[in-house]
Amino acid sequence: MSSVVVESDVQLSLDSIRESLIRQEDTIVFSLIERAKFPLNSPAFEESRCLDSGNSSSLTEFFVREIETIQAKVGRYDNPEENPFFLDNIPQSVFPTHKYPQALYPKASSVNINKRLWDVYFKELLPSFVKPGDDGNYASTAASDLACLQAISRRIHYGKFVAEVKFSDAPHDYEPAICSKDTEALMKLLTFEKVEEMVKKRVEKKAETFGQEVKCVSGDEESEKNYKVDPSLVSRIYGEWLIPLTKDVEVEYLLRRLD
């Protein structure tokens, strides 16, 4: 099966994608710091508290659905970098939107693992960096969770752009594994451990810089460094969840790249 070239006005390159991913790290680190202000507040996302008996969703799910509807109406999801969490909830934009150039292969551009991200975020990722407890501040917590979820989703779905560039640069390296649906071989082709370690070290350094508690001390006295979010946890979040999920998106994209 021969590869198909995507006609695009955008010149994608690994360098430009890398620059974008580095900028996205700032957004993700800041969103984690903001979320850490609140305790876990699990009733916001685990229980249905809606006074409307016909609505069984949690407060957080209701909030995200409503926000995504508004954002869709102003064209957020016309941007191929943005992926909604609730696909059944997305209306057409009611305003003229920017015509984004086709940078992704059409049959593969719809890859969306946000349902999986939702489960991972609330069951594993979130409890790893926020304190347990419940302060009842559910609306602000839901808004903060949405900021985290959207920033992380954008990052992991950037894997589609990474996969497109890697495939376009060397299609014959990937075609045998794609044709045989060999996900293990594809994952091996996509994995560069040195790059992943560099990313983990960089986000840990950013968490140290952005999240350090600032204290004024007199004279030569040195204050103990305290952080709003443990920098090593931010590195772990990338290593255990964000990087692997990004590569899963890359594999899913490549499996559809010859359709």
Q: Tens of pLDDT along 10-37?
A: 568 889 999 999 999 999 999 999 999 9
133, containing H or E segment:
none
Top-confidence residue, 221 or 199: 199
The answer to whether 157 and 81 are in contact (CB under 8 A) is yes
Query: What is the fold of 14-212+225-256?
Result: Chorismate Mutase, subunit A (1.10.590)
The answer to whether 121 and 101 are in contact (CB under 8 A) is no
Tell me, what DSSP letter sits at residue 126?
H
Instruction: Give residue 7's pLDDT.
Output: 46
Tell me how far apart the alpha carbons of residues 236 and 125 are, in angstroms, rounded to a whole number. Answer: 10
Specify the 3-state DSSP secondary structure of 227: strand
Q: What's the residue count for the chain?
A: 259
Instruction: Give residue 213's pLDDT.
Output: 86
**pLDDT tens column, 54-93:** 788 999 999 999 999 999 999 999 999 999 999 987 999 9
177, containing H or E segment:
helix 171-179
Residue 77, token pair as written in the block: 């999801």
pTM as predicted: 0.92
Amino acid code (one letter) for 225: K
Give the residue from 24, 2, 20, 23 showing the smallest Cα distance to 12. Answer: 20
- From first CA to last CA, the distance across the chain in angstroms is 9
Instruction: Give residue 222's pLDDT.
Output: 66
Q: At 52, is the pLDDT very low, low, confident or very high (cuts 50, 70, 90)?
A: confident
Amino acid code (one letter) for 237: I
